[in-house]
Amino acid sequence: VLLPVKKSVVCCRIEEFGPVFIQEPDDVIFPLDSDEKKVVMHCEARGNPPPTYSWYINGTEVDAEADYRYSFIDGNLIITNASEVTDYGKYQCKAENSFGTVLSRDGTLQFAYLGAFSGKARGGVSVREGQGVVLMCTPPPHSPEIIYSWVFNEFPSFVAEDSRRFISQDTGNLYISKVQPSDVGSYICLVKNTVTNARVLSPPTPLTLKTDGVMGEYEPKIEVHFPTSVLAAKGVTVRLECFALGNPVPTITWRKINGNIPKKARLRKSQAVLEIPNIQLEDSGTYECKAENPRGGTAFKGHLQVYTLPQWVRMINDTQMDSGEKLQWECKATGRPRPTYRWLRNVMMFLYSFLASPKPRIAWKRGDRRIQPNKRIMLLRNNTLRIVNASRADEGNYVCRAENQLGSAELTAILWVKEAMRVELTPARVEVTVGESVVLSCKATHDTSLDVAFQWFFNQKPINFQQDGGHFEYIQTSSTVDLMIRSILLKHAGKYGCRAQTSADTVFTEAELLVRGPPGPPGVVIVEEITDTTATLSWTRGLDNHSPISTYNVQARSPFSLGWQTVKTDPVTGDMESAIAVELNPWVEYEFRVVATNAIGTGDPSAPSRAVRTKEAVPSVAPANVSGGNGRRHELVISWEPVSEEFQNGEGFGYIVAFRANGTRGWKEKMVTSADSTTYKYRDETFPPLTPFEVKVGVYNNKGDGPFSSVVVIHSAEGEPREAPSDVRAYSISSSEIRVTWKPPNPEPGRPRGYEVSYWKDMEQEESGKKQRTVKNETSMVLTGLEGNSLYRITVKAFNSIGHGPATAAVTAKTRKTPPAQPPANLIWIQEGNNVSLSWDPVKAKDNESDVIGYMVSSLPFTAVTRTINPSTVLSLPEGGTYIIEVRALSEGGDGAVSSQIRLVTSSGTHKAVFFFVEILCSALN
């Protein structure tokens, strides 16, 4: 037996003892894609003689000789090329020697992996605007948990979660309560493994809108909810989801049946998630989430049951009895649900006394001398020898002798006394800020002949270095071990313990880590009093996280705000727990919450208060942008921008339209009872067009009349034009065109916005004629598509939005005769080089055709045009081209018919004179 100096020692057969665990198997999650191909399950025990080890997988003993993948190093189990199929399960270590056997707790081996999504294309989803939709993720095989998010159109544009959109971390599905046109696009589910951080993307799911109409309003339907029965371990964080489809978008509220929601609870994701940290027994109960919109509401209830691990209240002790005596052992444990009990025999066995019957007499001696009890060396009632403040002088052999009438037996125990181990943990108390890192150093001073083992604890529980998200790192030298805590979070505040253990003694010491961070959320906000423009609020103080709260900000939201907005209050210091929100709008429904700030930053907001509506008041906002004009004859049209519902201040809201003609005294007032109205028309045939009016528009509700807008001047409708245009003239341009010009009428009410020209043939009725309008206020027009050699009658009238003015007296104009229908014939041409001499027979016009006044010769694609009064001409064509020559007669009635075409080719060099009749060329071309 090894004992530290100055420690008490109890001796009785202590040179040999059964196994005691120093380290038992932990839960292990092994990434399948890890470069390290070995899994290590740890186990270590002390005992004398040293124990041997064996391992069990799911209750079956590991046979290292039969499977090369398994090997033992000391008490540890090494698994090479681990496989989820064969190696997943619960592992137990058994340590045994000649004095006993101990069986460890279970350690579960899991494997972390993330498969790929199916490559099969996903079908599109088509819904109406305003309808709700659920997009399925259908994740690939994975272990352990995964985190879900959704990509919109292309990575890394992620879907933002709000009151309308929600991603369930239970199913991975994306829920949109009310689809908008902006939601149209391609959606991709992204999953991330929480251990390996590997990520994979699903095939895209297109979302489109149907074109057969818009979805009307409908009551909420809860699509996401927590189970009807939730079982959670004490101390964990419970996360309950609740989300509904509906139009308008539903509001989610939570309550606890027959109790209050814990103050520590948090509402996340627009109240779709209720999060309860560090759950305790008193948090058990039935929780309800309710989804409501103006069309109705629905609710879901589920029961949360908190359980605690068993804790021993009464345990059994080693007992020695005579043969034939009655034995009664009682063990008792607490826990919820109530623990069940199981008795095991020979699982742990220590032989620390003699077995004899009848009961023997016990005596102790050191060497040959019987030990005489004194203040420092005592013989206890159970015959155990106790030595207080042992020193090196006490080292040696101690003999325990047992004797009865049937015989005697002796047992020797060897006592070694070692220097007591001292452990220093530095720093003993440290304060850090969220996000910083710190190192705790544990140094043991001990007898150099002994090995020391260390273990770190957080709030009395062993630290699992594999499962804490990389925040903890373990660094050990021979007699010192450091604990590095990286990127510290608020949850890392607490007591950190270092346990140093040798075969002689165990020393445990603790250090305190305080984490400064932004304040925790204040307690629930209560609206104690409400007026038309103010709200008196109170709340309970939240955690300051070791940095005093300096200020509180009060925030509010309403159906008219873009999310939460800071509202005006008097300064609210950190020692206050109430405030008055001012400058609120009357008759508006508000929710309030409070946010605390300290030197580190601003914390999470409190849970929202219940929704309350401010009292009614007389309207205080007048309509904006009062204007008007246009309309029909004798109408005064008045328009304005409607006052938002946010500023109507009460029920029975409407408008008062007041107007009077310039220069008059009394105002005419008309009531407009619809809050959505934007215009008012007043008709009175006694006032002339474009009469100026002074106009103002006011507001009212059931509480009284509010302010009027500023006075503006608006003219009544102008009426149609009263005068006809003047100086109308018309003359022929060709056989199918006549140009008409005129002068506008004198300026007056009824100003023209354009002109309409009517025209008809002299021998026809005006009603059978045609009409043509100008573009804007042009004062000329060309009439086209007319018949040749015909007399036309023409009138002009002005028009505007009200109607037409009077027409002018009809003027006449005759179109010219049509151009000659006979084309030039018998074309003859002589080509010398690039010069061409061309002649043709003259064209003679018929009596009903315009006289010929010349000819036009064109060559294509050469754009030159030659005009001549004679039936011949000379053309000079550029070199190196092919040209088409054609001729037509010119007349006052327009261009005559075109002749047959001549095709010519020009090139460099000298050409002989060539004579051709055009008919020969034409026949060859045909």
Asked if residue 701 lies in contact with residue 649, where contact means CB atoms within 8 angstroms, the answer is yes
> E-assigned strands of 843-914?
852-860, 865-868, 872-876, 881-891, 894-898, 902-906
- The encoded tokens of residue 721 equal 């034009």
Closest to 750 measured CA to CA, from 689, 708, 705: 689
- The encoded tokens of residue 608 equal 């929202």
Q: What is the C-alpha separation between 315 and 550, in angstroms, rounded? A: 51
Q: Tell whether the model's pLDDT for residue 872 goes beyond 60.
A: yes
Please name the residue that has the structure tokens 């371990």.
233
Q: Give Cα separations from 242 to 158, 184, 301, 695 (angstroms).
A: 21, 25, 10, 53
User: Which amino acid makes up residue 176?
Assistant: I
Q: For Cα atoms 65, 71, 77, give the angle at the middle one, nearest 5 degrees.
A: 130
Q: What is the pLDDT of residues 648-694, one digit of tens each?
A: 999 999 999 999 999 898 999 999 999 999 999 999 888 888 899 99
Q: How confident is the model at residue 495 (pLDDT cuts 50, 70, 90)?
A: very high
Which of 295-299, 349-353, 383-387, 580-584 is predicted least confidently? 349-353
Residue-level pLDDT at 390? 83
The reply to whether CATH 2.60.40.10 applies to domain 119-215 is yes
Tell which wins on pLDDT, 419 or 345. 419
Residue ranges per structural domain of the chain = 17-112, 119-215, 217-307, 315-350+367-418, 422-516, 526-614, 624-714, 726-814, 825-906
The reply to whether CATH 2.60.40.10 applies to domain 315-350+367-418 is yes
Q: Tell whether the model's pLDDT for residue 348 goes beyond 60.
A: no
Alpha helices by DSSP H, listed for 27-98, are 84-87
Q: What is the C-alpha separation between 655 and 252, in angstroms, rounded? A: 36
Q: How confident is the model at residue 346 (pLDDT cuts 50, 70, 90)?
A: very low
Average pLDDT estimate for 540-556: 93
CA atoms within a 13 Å half-sphere pointing along the CA-CB vector of 290: 9
Reduced to 3 states (helix: H, G, I; strand: E, B; else coil), residue 526 is strand
Q: What is the pLDDT of residues 18-41, one digit of tens each?
A: 888 889 999 999 988 877 778 999
- The encoded tokens of residue 134 equal 């659920």
- The kind and range of the H/E element at 925 are helix 918-925
Residue-level pLDDT at 84? 83
Q: What are phi and psi of 662, to 5 degrees?
A: -55, 135
Q: What is the C-alpha separation between 526 and 612, in angstroms, rounded? A: 10
Residues 6+ apart with CB under 8 A from 387: 8, 9, 10, 11, 376, 377, 394
Reduced to 3 states (helix: H, G, I; strand: E, B; else coil), residue 921 is helix
Average pLDDT estimate for 351-357: 56
Residue-level pLDDT at 753? 86
Q: What is the pLDDT of residues 139-181, one digit of tens each?
A: 999 888 899 999 998 877 889 899 999 999 999 999 999 999 9
Average pLDDT estimate for 427-449: 91
Asked if residue 484 lies in contact with residue 439, where contact means CB atoms within 8 angstroms, the answer is yes
Residues 6+ apart with CB under 8 A from 231: 305, 307
Class of domain 624-714: mainly beta
Q: Give Cα separations from 151 to 161, 241, 407, 630, 808 (angstroms).
A: 12, 21, 86, 51, 70
Average pLDDT estimate for 237-241: 95
Q: Tell whether the model's pLDDT for residue 469 goes beyond 70.
A: no
- The encoded tokens of residue 392 equal 């090196």
Closest to 667 measured CA to CA, from 715, 630, 711: 711
Q: Strand pairing partners for 796?
A: 757
pTM, two decimals, is: 0.47
Asked if residue 884 lies in contact with residue 877, where contact means CB atoms within 8 angstroms, the answer is no
- Fold (topology level) of 825-906: Immunoglobulin-like (2.60.40)
Q: What is the pLDDT of residues 710-751, one digit of tens each?
A: 999 999 888 778 889 999 999 999 889 999 999 998 877 677
Residue-level pLDDT at 920? 33
Average pLDDT estimate for 601-615: 94
Average pLDDT estimate for 54-77: 89
Q: Give Cα separations from 466 to 474, 493, 513, 650, 754 (angstroms).
A: 11, 19, 21, 61, 85
Q: How confident is the model at residue 477 (pLDDT cuts 50, 70, 90)?
A: confident
- The encoded tokens of residue 503 equal 């075969």
Residue-level pLDDT at 326? 87
Q: Give Cα separations from 192 to 189, 259, 472, 804 (angstroms).
A: 10, 38, 22, 73
Q: How confident is the model at residue 15 (pLDDT cuts 50, 70, 90)?
A: low
- What CATH number is given for 17-112 in this structure? 2.60.40.10
Chain-centroid distance of CA 449 in Å reads 61
> E-assigned strands of 532-662?
535-538, 549-557, 565-566, 578-581, 589-598, 612-613, 624-628, 635-641, 654-661
Q: Give Cα separations from 258 to 286, 569, 607 (angstroms).
A: 8, 35, 19
Please name the residue that has the structure tokens 């008309």.
670
- The encoded tokens of residue 910 equal 């000298």
Residue-level pLDDT at 515? 93
Residues of the chain with pLDDT > 70: what percent?
94
For the beta carbon of residue 505, count every other beta carbon within 10 angstroms: 18
Chain-centroid distance of CA 601 in Å reads 24
Residue-level pLDDT at 360? 82
User: Which amino acid makes up residue 109?
Assistant: L
Q: Give Cα separations from 763 to 768, 801, 807, 814 (angstroms).
A: 11, 33, 20, 13
Asked if residue 304 lies in contact with residue 230, where contact means CB atoms within 8 angstroms, the answer is yes
Question: Maximum distance among all alpha carbons in the chain?
Answer: 170
Residue-level pLDDT at 908? 59
Domains 315-350+367-418 and 726-814 share a fold: yes
Average pLDDT estimate for 794-809: 89
Closest to 673 measured CA to CA, from 696, 653, 702: 653
For the beta carbon of residue 17, count every other beta carbon within 10 angstroms: 18
Q: What are phi and psi of 923, to 5 degrees?
A: -70, -35
Q: Give Cα separations from 736 to 765, 781, 782, 790, 892 (angstroms).
A: 20, 14, 10, 9, 11
Q: How confident is the model at residue 863 (pLDDT cuts 50, 70, 90)?
A: low
- Fold (topology level) of 726-814: Immunoglobulin-like (2.60.40)
Asked if residue 612 lies in contact with residue 535, where contact means CB atoms within 8 angstroms, the answer is yes
Q: How confident is the model at residue 834 (pLDDT cuts 50, 70, 90)?
A: confident
- The encoded tokens of residue 233 equal 């371990």
Residues 6+ apart with CB under 8 A from 471: 485, 486, 487, 488, 489, 492
Average pLDDT estimate for 442-447: 90
Tell which wins on pLDDT, 750 or 421. 421
Architecture of domain 422-516: Sandwich (2.60)
Q: Strand pairing partners for 300?
A: 289
Q: What is the C-alpha separation between 153 and 171, in angstroms, rounded? A: 21
- Fold (topology level) of 217-307: Immunoglobulin-like (2.60.40)
Give the CATH number of domain 526-614; options: 3.40.50.10420, 3.30.390.50, 3.30.930.10, 2.60.40.10.
2.60.40.10
The per-residue pLDDT of the chain, averaged, comes to: 88
Asked if residue 146 lies in contact with residue 193, where contact means CB atoms within 8 angstroms, the answer is yes
Q: Strand pairing partners for 228?
A: none
Residue-level pLDDT at 2? 44
Q: Give Cα separations from 645 to 295, 589, 701, 761 (angstroms).
A: 19, 11, 12, 63
Residue-level pLDDT at 393? 86
Q: What is the C-alpha separation between 613 and 556, in angstroms, rounded? A: 12
Q: What is the pLDDT of residues 194-236, one digit of tens each?
A: 888 889 999 999 999 998 888 889 999 999 999 999 999 888 9
- The encoded tokens of residue 701 equal 């509700």
Asked if residue 679 lies in contact with residue 631, where contact means CB atoms within 8 angstroms, the answer is no
Q: How confident is the model at residue 356 (pLDDT cuts 50, 70, 90)?
A: low
Q: What are phi and psi of 767, to 5 degrees?
A: -65, -25
